Amino acid sequence: MEKVLHFIDGKFVESANGRTFDNVNPATGEVIGVVAEGGPAEVDAAVAAARRAFKTWGKTSAAERAAILHRIAQRIDENLETLALLETMDTGKPLTLSKTLDIPRSAYNFRFFADFVKGLSTETFEMEGVALNYALRRPVGVAGLISPWNLPLFLLTWKVAPCLAAGNTCVIKPAELTPMTATKLAEICQQAGLPDGVLNVVHGFGPDAAGSALTEHPDVDLISLTGETTTGKAVMRAAAGTLKRLSFELGGKNPNIIFADADLEDALETTIRSSFVNQGEVCLCGSRIYVERPLYGTFVERLVERAKQLVVGDPMHPDTNVGALVSEEHLERVRGFVERAVAQGGRILLGGKRPAHLLRGAFFEPTIIVDVDSSCEITRQEVFGPVVTVQPFDTEEEVIELANDTNYGLSATIWTTNLKRAHRVAGELEAGVIWINTWFLRDLRTPFGGMKESGIGREGGVHSFEFFSELKNVCVKL
Ligand code: NAD
């Protein structure tokens, strides 16, 4: 995909002013193409197309929409190899991960919401002998969907699928670092029979560019954003002028709590994944590891040994576990966090630098840091890279306090074989998603989202439809 274009009203188009920016493969540093750089003009055109299309798409039946969504899912499956390659070239993540996680889950998102919409119900309340109330579910209108670079197609389709299933139309603003799979999705949707204008894609940057043009646009009714907490704050300010409905999935600094009675092998293997999968660039990664003191020494030793075995390198190679970070700029940001952690007393047990054997590309070694406390930046700010801290704790009360001592509240993991304790601690943790003796296990029917500064609202199952639809109450006097 040497030229990545906008998709507006069923056509692939350049920017009106012809502007582009480079698309770089972070694993090689090579420019692999150019991307049309959109701004207010492209957003205006896309929103107008979405508004026109809403008149008919919003009136189709759930069954008609579900049939198209199933065809989209089918075509994603058929294009698995291409989509996985594009995703890996954009992000630097291992190709095996793109093939087994990102792309299959994207297809599943369409299937799930296509089936779910057909079973949706609304509420009725009878005022005996007086009146009957029933609610009608209707689409809201034009949605702006803004997505991040870490799981580009996977997270985008998690918004697109319920948005379209509910009868809305949309303008997508993909992350500027990872534009390719969203563009391919537009082509797939058209081939699957989605009418022109229902789904539009405008590429470009966030602040003072395509992103803010979308969030400020008077004819956009809702904004669903996955991105950084600071971006959420900026989008909220921008959207206030036109009072848009907002859904935010933002950053996390998630605790991974390991009690001494945990199943050690299970906790260890899962911790390797929750620390370093996708180069640690997953909002749910458990970057703050707390281990009960009797197990602390053994756990740290085993964690370092196991992390040493991870293969860092060429994302195209089937044996690679950890690929490249998304960009050189992001790598410098990650490295800055590690340097400041050391300056604040942290001790690096593993990693902390670029791998010596890789001469080019934005690679960073899996990094384990100890001897830090809650006052250190590294335990408070989201790094979004393959970097974890490990701290000991002595009591349940202490670890709950440590875990909650953050502005974030996305997810948390608890490892223990004591069932009573597991439920007790889960009840106390300030996080929207809690796993007990597992991680990243998702049932799409369940609520997903963050507390505190990790987000607003929930996605998944009926929660996605609450956001993407209006409920109208009809009161009939009997
Ligand atoms: P980001 O906030 O930099 O960008 C996300 C998107 O917002 C991009 O498309 C960007 O162009 C756009 N954007 C940025 N500023 C904007 C503005 N002022 N107005 C409108 N749009 C704007 O995030 P990122 O670096 O792409 O992704 C990493 C972040 O996303 C991390 O903080 C991570 O935790 C978070 N994330 C959260 C979840 C979740 O489910 N909670 C999932 C994945 C990633």
Q: Parse the chain into domains and list their residue ranges.
A: 3-250+454-477, 255-444
pLDDT score recorded for residue 120:
96
Nearest CA to ligand 1 atom 11: 206
pLDDT score recorded for residue 131:
98
| 138 has a pLDDT exceeding 90 | yes
CA of 357 to the centre of ligand 1 (A): 31
Q: For residue 450, which atom of ligand 1 is closest to its CA?
A: 41
pLDDT score recorded for residue 180:
98
Average pLDDT over residues 258-268: 98
| 305 has a pLDDT exceeding 90 | yes
CA of 291 to the centre of ligand 1 (A): 31
Token digits for 80? 């698995």
pLDDT score recorded for residue 323:
98
CA of 471 to the centre of ligand 1 (A): 29
User: pLDDT above 90 covers what percent of the chain?
Assistant: 100
CA nearest neighbour of 40 among 215, 159, 239, 244 = 215
Q: Which of 102, 145, 150 to mutate to test the pocket of ligand 1 (most atoms within 8 A of CB)?
A: 150
- 283 noted as active-site residue: yes
Alpha-carbon distance 113 to 165, whole Å?
A: 7
Alpha-carbon distance 291 to 297, whole Å?
A: 9
Nearest CA to ligand 1 atom 30: 227
Q: How confident is the model at residue 249 (pLDDT cuts 50, 70, 90)?
A: very high
pLDDT score recorded for residue 60:
98
Please identify which of the residues 42, 216, 249, 382 carries the catalytic annotation. 249
The helix or strand, by DSSP H or E, that contains position 290, with its residue range, turns out to be strand 288-292
Average pLDDT over residues 212-231: 98
Q: Are 253 and 380 in contact (CB under 8 A)?
A: yes
Q: Which of 224, 228, 433 to mutate to test the pocket of ligand 1 (most atoms within 8 A of CB)?
A: 228
pLDDT in tens, 310-339: 999 999 999 999 999 999 999 999 999 999
For domain 3-250+454-477, which architecture applies?
3-Layer(aba) Sandwich (3.40)
Alpha-carbon distance 109 to 157, whole Å?
A: 6
Q: For residue 410, which atom of ligand 1 is closest to its CA?
A: 41
pLDDT score recorded for residue 174:
98
Average pLDDT over residues 263-285: 98
- 265 noted as active-site residue: no
Q: How confident is the model at residue 1 (pLDDT cuts 50, 70, 90)?
A: confident
Pocket of ligand 1 (CB under 6 A): 146-150, 155, 173, 175-176, 205-207, 211-212, 215, 226-228, 231, 234-235, 249-252, 283, 382, 384, 410, 450, 455
Average pLDDT over residues 151-156: 98
pLDDT score recorded for residue 274:
98
Hey, what CATH class is 255-444 in?
A: alpha beta
Q: Nearest 5 degrees, angle CA 76-CA 80-CA 81?
A: 150
Q: For residue 173, which atom of ligand 1 is closest to its CA?
A: 9
Angle between helix axes 152-165 and 62-78 (nearest 10 degrees) is 160
pLDDT score recorded for residue 163:
99
Nearest CA to ligand 1 atom 43: 283
CB burial of 120-131 (b: ≥16 within 10 Å; e: otherwise) equals eeeeeeeeeeee
How far from chain centre, in Å, is Cα 132? 41
pLDDT in tens, 370-401: 999 999 999 999 999 999 999 999 999 999 99
pLDDT score recorded for residue 85:
98
| 107 has a pLDDT exceeding 90 | yes
pLDDT score recorded for residue 261:
98
Contacts 24+ apart (CB under 8 A), 472-478: 472/135, 472/136, 472/138, 473/133, 473/134, 473/135, 474/133, 474/134, 474/135, 474/136, 475/131, 475/132, 475/133, 476/131, 476/132, 476/133, 476/134, 477/130, 477/131, 478/129, 478/130, 478/131, 478/132
pLDDT in tens, 396-405: 999 999 999 9
pLDDT score recorded for residue 423:
98
User: pLDDT above 70 covers what percent of the chain?
Assistant: 100
